[in-house]
Copies of this chain bind each other. A is one copy, B any other.
Amino acid sequence: MKVLTFGEMMLRLKPTGFERVLQTNNFEASYGGAEANAAVSLALLGHDSAYLSKLPENALGEAAIGTLRKFGVDTGRVLRGGPRLGMYVFEKGNGARGTGVVYDRAGSSIATAEAAEFDWKAILDEVGIFYFSGVTPAISDEIEAALKEALVYCQANKITVVCDLNYRGKMWSPEKAQKVMHELMPFVDVCIANDEDFEACLGIKAFDGDLSNGIDQIEDFRDGMKEITTRYPNCKVVASVLRNINAVEQSDWMAILYKDGKFYDTPVHDINVMEGVAAGDAFGAGLLHGMLENLEPQESIDFAIAASVLKLSVSGDLNLVSEAEIRNAMQKGSNARLSR
C-alpha cells in the first residue's frame, strides 16, 4: 500500500558543533521537513512511500529531491517551480542554552503554490494512506485549501488519512490553527497529538505546558485523547508522546495509543539526547509502520516510540535507522554492548 505524505521541505543549515550563527564560518547542510522526514522513515522501513510538495527548479531543489530519492522515496509527484526553497537555521543547544531555530520559509515554492496546481485524482492514484502534519495547512491559505480538497477526495475514495497535529507557534496562532483544524479533523482517521497540540490545535486542555513534567500528567493526556475521538468520531485512533525533559541532553519519553476504547502505554525510555528534533516525524512513521504491517496495538506503539527515541541519536532531520535497529531499541539496555 502506497503512503503519500504532503508538506514543505527545507534546506537546514546548522553551524558546526555547538557554534552559534554569530561565530560560525560553516553550516552543515541537510534537507528535511516534517512530512518528508516521515516519508524517508517509511521508505527505510521498506514501504512504498511517496512525497508531495512543490520544489524550485534550482540546485537547492535538486538537492532536496536527491535526498528523498537517496533513501528510497518516490518523488515522481513533486511539483517543480516557484521562487525558492524554504530554509531554516538550526542552532543546537546544550546545557543552559536551549536549541534555537530561525525560520526563513516565507515566499517558498510551496508557500506560493496555488491550490489549482494539485490534481488530486492523479496525485492520489494508488495511494492507500495520506499523511500530513499541522505544518502543512499552516503554510498558506492556498495550501490549506488544497489540503482540504485532498481530504475530501481521500474520504470519498477510502484513503486513510493520518494527521500529526504538530503545532508550530512561529507559523500560526492557536486561534487560526483551531479554526483550520476544526475543519480538517472530520476527515482524519488517525490523529497524533503531542504536548501543546491538544490545546493549540484543538482547544483541548490535556497538558499544562511543563515539558519537564509531561509523563506525570498522563491522566490528563488520556482524557484529551478520548476527547478527540468524542469530538471527531471519524478519528478512531489517537497516539501521543509524553515527555519529561530534564535537560537539553536528557529526557524520559513514553507514548500512549488509544484505539477501540483502550489505552496502550509503552515503557518509559530514559535517554541521552544528541539532537532533539524531528522525533515526532519518526514517531508518526513508526505508527504508520504498525498500520502497514498490521501489528498489534501494543507492538505498534512500542515500535513507534522506539523509532522516535532513536531519532534523537541521529544527526539531521531524517531518522536514518533500520527496522532491526528500531526493534533492538525496543529492548532495554540494548545499546550498551558494542557488537564486534
Shortest distance from the beta carbon of A175 to any chain B beta carbon, whole Å: 19
What chain B residues lie within 8 Å of A316 (beta carbons)?
A: 23
Interface stretch, picked from A83-91, A125-133, A199-207, is A83-91
A155 on interface, CB distance cutoff 8 Å: no
What are 11 A-B contacts with C-beta separation under 8 Å? A17-B315, A23-B25, A23-B316, A25-B26, A26-B29, A95-B312, A95-B335, A97-B321, A98-B328, A99-B338, A101-B339
The quantity of this chain's copies bound in the complex is 6
How many Å lie between the Cα of A13 and that of B312 in the bound state?
23
**Contact across chains for A339 and B306 when beta carbons are under 8 A apart:** no
A145 on interface, CB distance cutoff 8 Å: no
Question: Given A20-B320, A96-B335, A312-B96, are A106 and B89 also a contact pair (CB < 8 Å)?
Answer: no
Within 8 Å by CB of A60, from B89, B273, B320, lies B89
The residue in chain B whose Cβ has the minimal distance to the Cβ of A70 is: B70
**Contact across chains for B94 and A313 when beta carbons are under 8 A apart:** yes
Interface residues of A in 96-117 (CB under 8 A from B): 96-104, 106-107
Question: Given A17-B315, A274-B18, are A98 and B337 also a contact pair (CB < 8 Å)?
Answer: yes
A22 on interface, CB distance cutoff 8 Å: yes
Query: Of A18, A325, A335, which is in contact with the most chain B CB atoms at under 10 Å from its CB?
Result: A335
What chain B residues lie within 8 Å of A72 (beta carbons)?
A: 69
* Chain A residues near B (Cβ < 8 Å): 13, 17-30, 58-60, 62-63, 66-67, 69-72, 83-85, 87, 89, 91, 93-104, 106-107, 168-170, 210-212, 245-250, 269, 271-277, 306, 309-310, 312-316, 318, 320-321, 325, 328-329, 333-340
What chain B residues lie within 8 Å of A58 (beta carbons)?
A: 102
**Contact across chains for B94 and A106 when beta carbons are under 8 A apart:** no
**Contact across chains for B21 and A62 when beta carbons are under 8 A apart:** yes
How many Å lie between the Cα of A185 and that of B107 in the bound state?
33
